Amino acid sequence: MEPVNVGIIGLGNVGLGTLEILWENWEQNTQKLGFPLWLRAICSRTLEGKALPAGMERVIRTTDWREVVTNPEIDIVCELVGGTGVAREIIEAAIANGKSVVTANKELMALHGPEIWRKAAQANVNLAMEASVAGGIPIHTVLREGISGDRLSALFGILNGTSNFILTEIEKRGADFGEVLAEAQRLGYAEADPTADIDGFDARSKLAILVALMFGKSVAPSEIYTEGIRRITPFDFEYARQLGYTIRLLCGARRTPEGLLLSVRPALLPRSTILAGVSGAYNAIWVLGDYGQDTFYYGRGAGPKPTGVAVVSDLMRVAREIRAGSHERVSPFAHAALEPTHPLPLDSMKTAYYLRFRVKDRPGIIASLSRVLADKGISLDAVLQVPCDTKDNLPFVITVEPSEESAIREAMAAMATLEFMVEPPLALPMEKGL
């Protein structure tokens, strides 16, 4: 039977993983599809020195992506360059040339996905992006089709493997953030510029994509409340443990009658919840629906091969659409149309909080902190202090009853100015309901 032909542009880690799976596993793919899915062209700026599988003589090699997107033999262009610059040019040129597109590009899809999809739909070609969120976990497929009959109400996810790896290492070894980050960089788990991962920007792009899939709403990633993990210390894990919790960078999306509450921030999770058990570079997603209630998805969040599986599975899906002559059966964002929206401010959300302080010890500290909390109408729940011999920089914790976010923020700002504070206090939500 007539093959469907693929051109891969971009041979970084994910590109090489995709290429290897496509090349090695062609026999099984053919058995599943009923027709061959061929790798027809590869493109990279630096083809020299790439370790490619043997026997690829008939595959076109080029350093110019235009040769791929204009090649009439190519049916699907697989964009694995990343970023929002040339990647966008590649995808739009491919669409303009009547090619379907498979991409792993979360940043581009979170920022411009709806526009790009509109162009694809107009050109009667397909767009697929399973690999853009949570590597080896097929969460797009699940939300787009698997549980499409549910009315979803919330999602909680661990969507950044690098920060989860760092948090897990701080927890396991009691090492400081800086030390663990340096090691993660040495091991290749974190990039030289780690900002996107540890400050939550990578996770918020992924959350924006999942929100589109869940609710049919497009949200600008920059409008999602985002806080990173730089301030988490071994002390925080010790206090969390005493409270029966652990700490993870949690992505949350909640539907309310007024709109969507979205956040990416470190949070305390009860040890008993299945999300708390997610360690190292794994990702996990917990989805709540009005009918199906809770489902949970877990797997490797990154890596050439797990992400390559997502890309190849997309290629197979798009190849089937092409063979069936059906170009736009299911929108990549699950809904037939996306509606732009702004997330609600978190101000009136009520959450229990863990407040961690570092102070110069002297009498009356608890009294003055309690006064600030009382002024803002916040009820104190517990005061914890682990033994520590530095009177100059003493960490301790206050937990408070569910309180409005705005009150918590005002209290934190007022407390930050107290003269015994060594650094501004840290506030982490306690997700008791998970």
User: What's the min distance (Å) between Cβ of 15 and a second copy?
Assistant: 14
Token couple for 111: 């920022």
Which stretch, 59-67, 103-111, 139-147, 395-403, contacts a second copy (CB under 8 A)?
Answer: 139-147
Task: Give the one residue of 231, 241, 335, 409 binding a second copy; rule: CB under 8 A.
Answer: 335
CB 37 within 8 A of CB 6: yes
Cα torsion through 237, 241, 242, 245, rounded to 10:
110
Scan residues 112-131 and list those touching a second copy (CB under 8 A): 130
CB 242 within 8 A of CB 251: no
Of 22 and 346, the one with the shorter C-beta distance to a second copy is: 22
Task: Give the one residue of 309, 352, 411, 415 binding a second copy; rule: CB under 8 A.
Answer: 309
Token couple for 4: 């469907």
Task: List Cα–Cα distances, 266 to 92, 116, 200, 249, 407, in angstroms.
Answer: 36, 32, 9, 4, 19
Of 76, 16, 68, the residue nearest 315 (C-alpha): 76
Q: Does 55 bind a second copy (CB under 8 A)?
A: no
User: What's the min distance (Å) between Cβ of 99 and a second copy?
Assistant: 19
Q: Which residue in the block uniquely carries the two structure tokens 């170009």?
A: 327
User: What's the min distance (Å) between Cβ of 230 and a second copy?
Assistant: 29
Q: Does 294 bind a second copy (CB under 8 A)?
A: yes
Task: Give the one residue of 80, 334, 394, 400 binding a second copy; rule: CB under 8 A.
Answer: 334
Q: Which residues pair with 253 in a beta bridge?
A: 155, 262
Task: Give the one residue of 90, 104, 159, 315 binding a second copy; rule: CB under 8 A.
Answer: 315
Q: Does 71 bind a second copy (CB under 8 A)?
A: no
What are the residue numbers of the active site? 206
Q: Does 295 bind a second copy (CB under 8 A)?
A: yes
User: What's the min distance (Å) between Cβ of 136 and a second copy?
Assistant: 4
Of 36 and 424, the one with the shorter C-beta distance to a second copy is: 36
Which stretch, 69-77, 240-248, 286-294, 409-417, contacts a second copy (CB under 8 A)?
Answer: 286-294
CB 302 within 8 A of CB 82: no
Listed as own residue / partner, the contacts of 238-244 with beta carbons closer than 8 Å and 24 or more positions apart are 238/174, 238/386, 239/354, 239/356, 239/384, 239/386, 239/395, 239/397, 240/268, 240/354, 241/271, 242/384, 242/386, 243/268, 243/354, 243/382, 243/384, 243/399, 243/430, 244/270, 244/271, 244/272
Q: Does 178 bind a second copy (CB under 8 A)?
A: no
Q: Where along the sequence are the contacts to a second copy (CB under 8 A)?
A: 17, 21, 25, 28-29, 31-34, 130, 136-138, 140-142, 145-151, 216, 274, 277, 289, 291-300, 305-306, 308-317, 320-321, 324-326, 329-330, 334-337
